[in-house]
Amino acid sequence: MSAQLGTPPVDAHPQHGGPVADALSRSDRWRSFAQCAWLPAALAAAALLLAAGGATVNERAAEWLLRRDAEATAYNWATSIEQSLGSRLEALVARVAPSAPVRNLLEHARTMGNVFRFKLFDANGDLVFVSDDLDTAPGQLAESLTLHRGTSGVAAALINGGSHVEAARGTPPDRPAYYAEAYVPVQRDGQVVAIAEVYVDQTDRMVLYRQTFAVTGTITGLLVVVAALLPGYMAWRRSRERRRAEDQVRFLAHHDPLTLLPNRARFAEALGVELARGRRQGHDLAVLAIDLDNFKEVNDTLGHAAGDALLMEVARRLRAEVREQDVVARLGGDEFIIVQGTVQQPADAALLGERLIATLSAPYELPGGQRAATCGASVGVALAPVDGTDPAALLRAADAAMYRAKAEGRGRVRFFEEGMDRALAERRSLTQDLREALLQGTFTLAYQPLHDLPSGTLTSFEALLRWQHPTRGNVSPAAFIPLAEETGLIVPIGTWVLHQACRDAASWPENVRVAVNLSVKQFANGGAALLAEVTKALRAANLPPDRLELEVTESLLLQDTDAVLATLAALHEMGCTIALDDFGTGYSSLAYLWRFPFDKLKVDQSFVRSMSNEPKAAAIVATVVALGQALGLTTTAEGVETTQQLDALRAAGCNQGQGFLLGRPMPSSAAAGLAAAAASPRGAAPDPAVASLT
């Protein structure tokens, strides 16, 4: 029985083995000891050898360092004395007695830094001057200069450059305990004028180097000893780190690294478990898909660090709103999902969804004192087993309901209904078609003319985006522009529109401008990319900036006001015209009109269309026109479709008009023809409506 369980049999190790067994036991113990003791013994021997050899190596290393130090000191000394004496050095080497000022300089040179003595040799290696001569009377110094005091072969050999250092020991106080004699050339204007033998006191440095190497040797010995224990420690640490890394990999395989919430894969597993439990216990559950509203604007205007901080705060708020048994996960980006188990009735899920929207819509405190008060959420709800019995079906249903909530105005809860999945599939298909249209260049531009109302002349064209799909046909901008805004594709699309409009306008007469609409998303990250693209588009098309009109909506002004103001000011300074589009329909504030560099106000077509039968609309248009005149801004009326509207606008003093009555959107070739005809001496054949103005 014990053998089957893996326990050694009781007779596997006999109690008594006799003398042979005892000898074998002693041999085994000795072998075991030897195997354990050889490494410390080897390390001790290595430490002794290192200590013995280290002393010699340290001594040689110190001497080498001292030689290099003496050489550097001598070169610095030679440079300094050449700069101090100048041509007087050559006179001294020529055996001319030094004057009193020169003696003072030489006296100073004898005590410069660690130098305590020096000699000067001429080009032949003959000794000319010794600093000891400074201790004699001036007459004796002059006499000693005339004497032949010997020749140095070392000095003569250095006349063409190089150096020579000799280490020496002395007896204090006559000479330092350790010093060096360094021979170096003294150069003037690139020519060697003398050879200097500089005596450098290196006693303190020798002591320093020896102490340093002694400490280094001690540390090295300690490191050798520590190395005996290091392999085992490192093996243990590697094992611990490997286990920790494996745990981290396992965790990250099932969790989002930013919020630490379960990811899509882990959520699908948890949802499967909850569905199985619900079938066993006979209760329903709800899946809530949550998508943050306006999160991309937060990311674009405040930066990715602020966006990450907001996502972590969202995760914290979601966990705080659900029960312990509920599951919260992040699917990616700004999409979160919750499994609400044991739902008694749909109202339970609706209440949770409303609570989530309320808590996620509260202001966020972000790094740097920034606040993002505009970020809310849209929630889609799918119920099991009514809307699906497997995780994939429930996720699709909740996703479809969430997109319906966003399409209906955001910030609301929507339950899944039959047909929503088809709408979601259509949305995704349209998004993919948008990407392909951008890559394949199937977008086109149509141009709608703008006329000066008092004179009836053509002033500019507004560039309007058109998309002719190979199977969908002509897709309405109202269908794909909001989707492009939501997915961020509006930025590359807007860049293409800007470049294409500038290229087309470059072929028009010089007095005809082109207007391009800008998206809020093009102002992301301070607007630097937009400024660069506008500059690039104008240069590539050779179009003067004053022929480009940039239209923005009031929603832009709710973003980072300082950054938007700086970007618009830079565009205005560049020479571009800045127009505020759809004025009066958004978050109109008179403060915007004097703070921001607007040149034009565009009255929204909803007011223009109602002028004929709604006195209040006519009063609003007249007020906007009067405001524009008072501020020196051009006013343009959009959506002019009847002569009655045209007459009313003219009577109100509106500057420009745009609409089907004055000209429908047309291809680029037709716009070029109309512009050329308008600029010809005879002028274009006027539209009856425009002609009526004159």
Q: Which domains does the chain have, with CATH numbers?
A: 50-206 (3.30.450.20), 264-418 (3.30.70.270), 430-691 (3.20.20.450)
pLDDT of residue 517: 93
- The strand pair at 191-201 and 115-121 is best described as antiparallel
pLDDT of residue 199: 92
What's the pLDDT tens digit per position in 295-327? 877 776 677 788 888 899 999 999 999 988 889
| Separation CA 582–CA 639 (nearest Å) | 11
Q: Residue 401 burial (CB < 10 Å; 0-12/13-18/19+)?
A: buried
The tally of CA atoms less than 13 A away on the side-chain side of residue 463 is 29
Average pLDDT for residues 106-122, to the nearest whole number? Answer: 88
Q: Nearest CA to 106 among 96, 119, 124?
A: 119
pLDDT of residue 14: 36
Q: Nearest CA to 530 among 311, 300, 332?
A: 300
pLDDT of residue 654: 93
Residue with tokens 């659900």, as numbered in its chain: 322
| Separation CA 201–CA 214 (nearest Å) | 22
What's the pLDDT tens digit per position in 611-620? 888 888 889 8
Residue with tokens 């086109």, as numbered in its chain: 444
Helix and strand counts by DSSP (H, E) for the chain: 22, 21
Note whether 547 and 505 are within 8 A (CB).
Answer: yes
What's the pLDDT tens digit per position in 470-499? 888 888 898 888 888 888 889 999 999 999
DSSP 576: -
**Dihedral angle, C-alpha 538, 541, 547, 553, nearest 10 °:** -60
Q: Which helix (H) or strand (E) holds 365?
A: strand 365-366
| Most confident listed range (234-238, 428-432, 546-550, 566-570) | 546-550
65 C-beta neighbours (distance < 10 Å), count: 17
pLDDT of residue 576: 94
For 678, residues 6+ apart whose C-beta sits below 8 A from its C-beta are 457, 458, 509, 512, 684
| Separation CA 481–CA 489 (nearest Å) | 9
Q: How far is CA 437 from CA 444, 468, 501, in A?
A: 10, 9, 18
What's the pLDDT tens digit per position in 137-168? 877 887 888 787 888 888 888 888 788 888 88
pLDDT of residue 124: 85
Average pLDDT for residues 527-548, to the nearest whole number? Answer: 93
Please state whether the predicted TM-score (pTM) of the whole model is above 0.75. no
pLDDT of residue 330: 92
| Separation CA 180–CA 197 (nearest Å) | 10
Q: Nearest CA to 349 among 394, 318, 380, 387?
A: 380
What's the pLDDT tens digit per position in 621-661? 998 999 999 889 999 999 999 999 998 999 889 999 999 99
pLDDT of residue 419: 65
Average pLDDT for residues 239-249, to the nearest whole number? Answer: 82
| Most confident listed range (257-266, 318-327, 495-504) | 495-504
DSSP 138: H
- Where is average pLDDT lowest: 424-433, 640-649, 668-677? 424-433
pLDDT of residue 305: 83
Tokens of 177: 């305990």
Q: How far is CA 419 from CA 350, 375, 391, 397, 415, in A?
A: 20, 29, 19, 10, 12
pLDDT of residue 149: 80
Note whether 640 and 661 are within 8 A (CB).
Answer: yes
Note whether 291 and 402 are within 8 A (CB).
Answer: yes
pLDDT of residue 218: 77
| Separation CA 505–CA 513 (nearest Å) | 7
Q: Residue 594 burial (CB < 10 Å; 0-12/13-18/19+)?
A: exposed
Which of residues 39 and 335 earns the better pLDDT score?
A: 335
486 C-beta neighbours (distance < 10 Å), count: 16
φ, ψ of residue 337 to 5 degrees: the values are -145, 145
Helix, strand, coil in percent for the chain, rounding step 5: 55, 20, 25
- The overall average pLDDT reported for the chain is 82
587 C-beta neighbours (distance < 10 Å), count: 10
Q: pLDDT confidence of 372, banded at 50, 70, 90?
A: low
Which of residues 318 and 691 earns the better pLDDT score?
A: 318
331 C-beta neighbours (distance < 10 Å), count: 19
pLDDT of residue 8: 35
pLDDT at position 534 over 90: yes
pLDDT at position 601 over 50: yes
pLDDT at position 667 over 70: yes
Which of residues 262 and 2 earns the better pLDDT score?
A: 262
pLDDT of residue 25: 41
pLDDT of residue 2: 33
DSSP 638: -
Task: Spell 376-397 as b/e; 16+ CB within 10 A means b.
Answer: bbbbbbbbbeebbeebebbbbb
φ, ψ of residue 600 to 5 degrees: the values are -145, 145
pLDDT of residue 671: 93
% of residues, the chain, pLDDT over 70 = 85
Note whether 175 and 132 are within 8 A (CB).
Answer: no
Tokens of 603: 């009255």
Q: pLDDT confidence of 30, banded at 50, 70, 90?
A: very low
For 71, residues 6+ apart whose C-beta sits below 8 A from its C-beta are 163, 165, 182, 184
Which of residues 562 and 3 earns the better pLDDT score?
A: 562
Q: Where are the beta strands (DSSP E) in 141-212?
A: 164-169, 178-188, 191-201
Q: pLDDT confidence of 21, banded at 50, 70, 90?
A: very low
Q: Residue 137 burial (CB < 10 Å; 0-12/13-18/19+)?
A: exposed
Residue with tokens 């008092």, as numbered in its chain: 454
DSSP-based three-state secondary structure for 463 = strand
**Using alpha carbons only, what angle is made at residue 463 by residues 529 and 694, rounded to the nearest 5 degrees?**
135
What's the pLDDT tens digit per position in 549-573? 999 987 777 665 678 888 899 999 9
Average pLDDT for residues 409-431, to the nearest whole number? Answer: 78
DSSP symbols for 202-263: -HHHHHHHHHHHHHHHHHHHHHHHHHHHHHHHHHHHHHHHHHHHHHHHHHHTTB-TTT--B-
pLDDT at position 4 over 50: no
Average pLDDT for residues 62-80, to the nearest whole number? Answer: 87
Task: Spell 47-58 as b/e; 16+ CB within 10 A means b.
Answer: beebeeebeeeb
- Where is average pLDDT lowest: 186-190, 593-597, 649-653? 593-597
Q: Which helix (H) or strand (E) holds 601?
A: strand 600-603
Average pLDDT for residues 23-42, to the nearest whole number? Answer: 46
Residue with tokens 């003791």, as numbered in its chain: 37
- The strand pair at 127-130 and 115-121 is best described as antiparallel
pLDDT at position 670 over 90: yes
% of residues, the chain, pLDDT over 90 = 25
pLDDT of residue 6: 35
